[in-house]
Structure 1
């Protein structure tokens, strides 16, 4: 085993870790240097893509690859330092947000206290008025009884005075008269006593207030929302350096897939015609629904519905521009909007000469399929950079690095061209009918959905080899949007009716 040491910290291994033999070959399929034992043990099916290590390393010293890597490292350090500085602002922002939350709590407390003071004052005023009225009634009743008491005392005095009369006749008549009056007064007192009341002053607390106090266990909840922040960390120099060293190739015949999840958008929206989709920086899928509901549908990679984003018109296709914005095409409305991905605010609107169909973004340049115009390349402000002619029957597009891929559903063809429109290859297959949705993996192999053939093809990056990955038996029924998550290696396919499937691509 031989190790070549460069400087103090870098060790370059020239022997296989597993078998101890010299690394003699390079597998372009798996992007790895291998020994003879590796070749027979793990790479028997890669014979077409095995080259001598010397051939893979040919002219590496004279290429600009290492210079490109060095420049990319400098760029990475610069961007990383910027990210560190931005992250350092998090504590400052949290402190400011903490102050705002405290102020909100104090404002709520002030509002509650003020309202409670108002209710208390209102209740105590009512208490005072009620008690005053009751006391007044009671005083009036006592006064009435006192008058009765005085009247009966007067009658008693008159009774005593009768005894001083000499005539029995006068005593008799006076007695009868006084007895009648006494009887009337006693009956009157009886009636008055029947209305005697004892008062108990209480409070019946509003049940809503009681329920509120019983049900509230806390003033509120402190929540921290963690939002994924998309920080583009892509360096073209590294990609160019790797391309100069070798060109990775993977035969599409070796591509397999594993079912991940399946779900239906019908549970969220009844009126569906799914025509486009894209992968967001946080791994979620944003889906275009070309109906009068005028929404984009966001789901995570398990199919869980996250939210609907209202848009200004029927959304045909959608693409990510950067971590903050997306572009949405509006089909026959002949318009494309750029939206803030967080709140859905329209940042810019561009009118097109024809119907605005498929849309894709590469290096902040937006590529739109405009009917009767072709592929129109423009910047975020809507300034047209160039136009590539293509058939009117081209609806779906994806732009990746230095190439554009699009489908022609009438001619049943898949096209690959340069950014200036120079055709690189054209693919067709009798089993691929009405190709529509299109996406590209990490090494430019192309996924295409057959709308009428109800299948999904993968086409090798040279356009010469293909494989049918999915068919109607896998649940495809008029599939249109296809998008591939390059980081997670997850493929999203959706029928126009809203039935969607996620697959892990191996």
Structure 2
């Protein structure tokens, strides 16, 4: 292919003439100026060649398609249907001489644009792109979780430090208070002894003065008697003073810091440790089917409902003391069952697929319907509040809240577009940010439930006991009405666009052929259905979930 700022005309270049090409021949793979294009159309051999504008050529200019055999270097001109291989003229006699299904590549490529392989390839690319986008959103969500975890841990560290500081402050104040009290007690004992000694000192000083005065001024008799009396008193005081001296104590204040405090100061080197727990995150990757055969391939695109069978996996009754009114249900990627209980409890209810109650999940209002966005997110409708909420399906934190002008009931998603039924002849189409993309007008004023496939949407009209199938643009393709379906509510669609609808008053499950021309009643009241209201089909696990109004749950495998 040509490249650069302009595309030269191939035939003119053969004559060493430089001219800009105006068109590109996809068969010859060269540019054509206006004169050469006119001549190109005149020649019989190139009359039916396809030419495109240079602008369109620019779109495929860098698409690398090899037409040369990688083994022999010759042009690829043949196709072996038996081995599903493209061949050159050397490959045919060397390895495919005995093959009866060798045809020219021209014949093999006929209607290539309408081939199942191309359709499968496009679906594979779209499917893989969706998987990558979901993985990107998952990892972005995981990154935000790390931010939240970091903030929570930082808060814990600071709160712990504040708590420790407060506790240390209290212990310090208590110890200082004990120090003051002990010091005061010791000093009080010293003071008491000092007062005694001071009293003894004053008394002895007074006796000394009296003895000196007696010696100077008293008579011998008075001196004799005084000496004896004072001496007796001195003996008593000496004994008293000796007792005081014998009971005298010295006090030394010391402190014994608690061993844990010592360890905290000397041995504890870390405030804590940041640990990372790793676990394999099983991201749901839905493998798209890639079929490389160009011809002779018969891939089933439909399934007759007569061949559809339901095998019961598990049935159980939701046990609650309060009122229960089931309006919506879904199977989460982890296999758990999520149920919308549209009462004033404002809760979703989570069960395992074995019927074990996992938890009740508080939500913003009375939930009506649920649909799964991807492996990490769901969306819930709240008619009374006129809002949708996108929740993380692991911790059920709110990731986005979308306010609507109209009431909202059933909801479904395809290719990142939310289809919300309003019950007033309209379906709102939103992206995941809440931006309104379009509003579809439909032939129904009594629609509550909706589901989608890759190219269709389906909704029930309960008052008219009908089921409608439309394109994703809202153009009606068919509608189905039967007396056997009384008040149809929940609706689901399988991998073949066959429709599953529950009749509330008829107490049954009806399967409708993908073209709307045939139906069969698959489950009835005798199978345990009692006013069924919600139904969900898991296209990966091929399971069907049915919930009755009063909380009876049944899970089936579709075979």
Same fold (TM over 0.5): yes
**Alpha-carbon displacement from aligned partner over 1:319-366 (angstroms, at most 9, x marks no partner):** 234566654433355x242535363143432212xx432222233333
Structure 2 residue corresponding to 1:5, chosen from 77, 80, 83: 83
Hey, what's the Cα distance between the residues in 2 that align with 1:202 and 1:400?
79
User: Does the 8 A contact of 2:449 with 2:490 survive in 1?
Assistant: yes
Hey, what's the Cα distance between the residues in 1 that align with 2:145 and 2:366?
39
Counterpart in the other structure of 1:498? 551
Hey, what's the Cα distance between the residues in 2 that align with 1:167 and 1:91?
114
User: Does the 8 A contact of 1:416 with 1:425 survive in 2?
Assistant: yes
User: Does the 8 A contact of 1:329 with 1:356 survive in 2?
Assistant: yes
**Alpha-carbon displacement from aligned partner over 1:170-210 (angstroms, at most 9, x marks no partner):** 87699779979998999999999999999997879799xxx
Gaps of 5+ in 2: 1-80, 87-109, 261-271
User: Does the 8 A contact of 2:305 with 2:512 survive in 1?
Assistant: no
Q: Deviation at 1:482?
A: 1.3
Matched, 1:276 2:328: yes
Hey, what's the Cα distance between the residues in 1 that align with 2:526 and 2:227?
122
The TM-score normalised by the length of structure 1 is 0.64
- SS of the residue aligned with 1:150? helix
CA 101–121 in structure 1, closer or farther in 2 if over 3 Å, else same: same
Counterpart in the other structure of 2:188? 137
Counterpart in the other structure of 2:26? none
Hey, what's the Cα distance between the residues in 2 that align with 1:461 and 1:111?
66
CA 98–348 in structure 1, closer or farther in 2 if over 3 Å, else same: closer
Hey, what's the Cα distance between the residues in 2 that align with 1:359 and 1:77?
24
Q: Deviation at 1:275?
A: 0.8
Larger Rg: 2
Q: Deviation at 1:231?
A: 6.4
Structure 1 residue corresponding to 2:405, chosen from 336, 342, 351: 351
| Alignment of structure 1 residues 377-396 onto 2, 5 Å | 377-379=429-431, 380-392=434-446, 394-396=447-449
Q: Deviation at 1:499?
A: 3.9
Matched, 1:126 2:180: no
Matched, 1:442 2:459: no
Hey, what's the Cα distance between the residues in 1 that align with 2:256 and 2:543?
66
User: Does the 8 A contact of 2:120 with 2:289 survive in 1?
Assistant: no
CA 498–182 in structure 1, closer or farther in 2 if over 3 Å, else same: farther
Hey, what's the Cα distance between the residues in 1 that align with 2:289 and 2:439?
23
Q: Which has the higher contact order (CA 8 A, sep 6+)?
A: 1
Structure 1 residue corresponding to 2:339, chosen from 284, 287, 304: 287
| Alignment of structure 1 residues 93-172 onto 2, 5 Å | 114=165, 118-119=169-170, 121-150=172-201, 153=204
User: Does the 8 A contact of 1:375 with 1:389 survive in 2?
Assistant: no
Counterpart in the other structure of 1:483? 536
Matched, 1:406 2:474: no
Counterpart in the other structure of 2:66? none
Counterpart in the other structure of 1:365? 417
- SS of the residue aligned with 1:452? coil
Hey, what's the Cα distance between the residues in 1 that align with 2:349 and 2:248?
74
User: Does the 8 A contact of 2:302 with 2:497 survive in 1?
Assistant: no
CA RMSD of aligned residues (A): 5.6
Hey, what's the Cα distance between the residues in 2 that align with 1:499 and 1:372?
30
- SS of the residue aligned with 1:249? coil
Q: Deviation at 1:388?
A: 0.8
Hey, what's the Cα distance between the residues in 1 that align with 2:479 and 2:536?
21
Gaps of 5+ in 1: 9-58, 208-217
Q: Deviation at 1:168?
A: 6.1
**Alpha-carbon displacement from aligned partner over 1:370-398 (angstroms, at most 9, x marks no partner):** 23324454554124342112142x32221
Hey, what's the Cα distance between the residues in 2 that align with 1:78 and 1:449?
34
Hey, what's the Cα distance between the residues in 2 that align with 1:78 and 1:220?
36
